[in-house]
Amino acid sequence: MFNRFSFFFRLTTLRNPTNSRSKSEWWRALQGGIRGRIAPLTNAAADRLVLSCGGKAASTPPAKGPPKIWSNFRNPQESRHDSLLVVTQMAMYLFLFLACLALYVHGDVPVAKFPLQVSCTITITAHLIDEDSTYPPRQRSMRIYYDYTNKRARADIEAGYEAAKVYVRRYDEDNEYMVRLPPLDDCKRSYLGEIMPYPDIGDSNYANVEVINGIQCHHFIYEAFDTRVHMYLSTVDGAPVKVIQEEIQDQVSVPLLTYDYSDVTLGPPDMSFFELPNGYTHDKCDRHIAGFPYLHVFHHFVKF
């Protein structure tokens, strides 16, 4: 049974500064009140409680176990420093283990990356539009010159929606242009004050290797809600080959958009492609306040 009066009497003698007992007697009185009067506590638990009050543990350490950790309980003045050292070492070992595990699991897995400098022809097919539809057109074709490194891009729309238009984005000069080829033959310019969007593909998962249009490709899958995007990049140089966007309806895949890439050339496009066509200059283009919409060239991951 717990003798409240005996325990609190001893605790009171410890806290009473007018008591004639020595300091060592105070600690002994407190330890006796803890060890002798609290029956449910084990010796180890009693030691920890005594240590929290600044006393010394009296129980015998177990025969097995790390002596350094046990010494922390028997030396309260060093326990905080040693415990911090042990925790730091354990955290370091855990970090190294996780880093090695990540390298082992993901070290040889390809990562989806869109080239920072590329020229290619893109054919976009909207599968929800009938093949015989005149407007909106089912397909759109454009030739792009993309140079993220130097912050500039161009798209010559050859067929489909906005055919015979040329968009030139000069993020390096804070200007963008839209040229309509003959017979309309005009040009508009707008201030481009934003940063060129980075071609970030996001959290895609590597699937396998497949042959698309005769090209061996790495197959990546991106999923968000009910949308799934399949991306195919050449295993040789990472050039884009195909992108398929599909919607999942009742566990059935419904294709929405397809991007097909052809005549792909990796490397920086020639500077001449970023000059205005047909003899237009910056001053000859009419000022356009609203700006121009993004062009998406690799689903929503790559735009300018």
279 within domain boundaries: yes
Provide the pLDDT for residue 88: 75
- Identify the domain boundary among 47, 81, 105: 105
Q: How far, in Å, CA of 26 to CA of 34, rounded?
A: 12
* pTM across the whole model: 0.66
CATH no. for residue 192? 2.50.20.30
Are the CB atoms for 179 and 166 separated by under 8 Å? yes
- Identify the domain boundary among 105, 136, 169: 105
Is residue 26 domain-shared with residue 147, that is, in the same domain? Answer: no
Is residue 206 domain-shared with residue 266, that is, in the same domain? Answer: yes
Helix (H) / strand (E) element for 263: namely strand 252-266
Are the CB atoms for 64 and 27 separated by under 8 Å? no
Q: How far, in Å, CA of 229 to CA of 231, rounded?
A: 6
Please give the tally of structural domains in the chain: 2
Is residue 59 domain-shared with residue 175, that is, in the same domain? Answer: no
Strand extents, DSSP E, 160-204:
165-170, 175-180, 186-191
Provide the pLDDT for residue 65: 53
267-286 in b/e form (b: 16+ CB < 10 A) is ebbeeebbebeeebeeeebe
Instruction: List, for residues 162-207, the tens digit of each pLDDT value.
Output: 999 999 999 999 999 999 999 999 999 999 999 999 999 988 999 9
pLDDT band of 58, cuts 50, 70, 90: low
Provide the pLDDT for residue 13: 44
Helix (H) / strand (E) element for 96: namely helix 76-106
Q: How far, in Å, CA of 218 to CA of 214, rounded?
A: 13
111 within domain boundaries: no
Instruction: List, for residues 14-56, the tens digit of each pLDDT value.
Output: 444 444 445 455 445 445 554 444 444 455 554 554 455 555 5
Is residue 39 domain-shared with residue 159, that is, in the same domain? Answer: no
Backbone angles phi, psi at 296, to 5 degrees: -95, 120
Helix (H) / strand (E) element for 71: namely helix 67-74
Instruction: List, for residues 89-148, the tens digit of each pLDDT value.
Output: 777 767 666 755 555 455 578 999 999 999 999 999 999 999 999 999 999 999 999 999
Are the CB atoms for 124 and 138 separated by under 8 Å? no
Instruction: List, for residues 273-294, the tens digit of each pLDDT value.
Output: 999 998 899 999 999 998 999 9
**The dihedral sign for the CA sequence 21, 24, 27, 32:** negative
The pair of three-digit structure tokens given for residue 56, joined into one six-digit string: 């010394």
Is residue 226 domain-shared with residue 258, that is, in the same domain? Answer: yes
Boundaries of domain holding 154: 117-303
Is residue 123 domain-shared with residue 63, that is, in the same domain? Answer: no
207 within domain boundaries: yes
Distance of CA 214 to the CA centre of its chain: 33
- Identify the domain boundary among 63, 85, 105: 105
Q: How far, in Å, CA of 43 to CA of 35, rounded?
A: 8
Provide the pLDDT for residue 38: 44
Report the chain's mean pLDDT, rounded to a whole number: 81
Provide the pLDDT for residue 202: 84
Q: What is the DSSP pairing of strand 286-287 with strand 186-191?
A: parallel
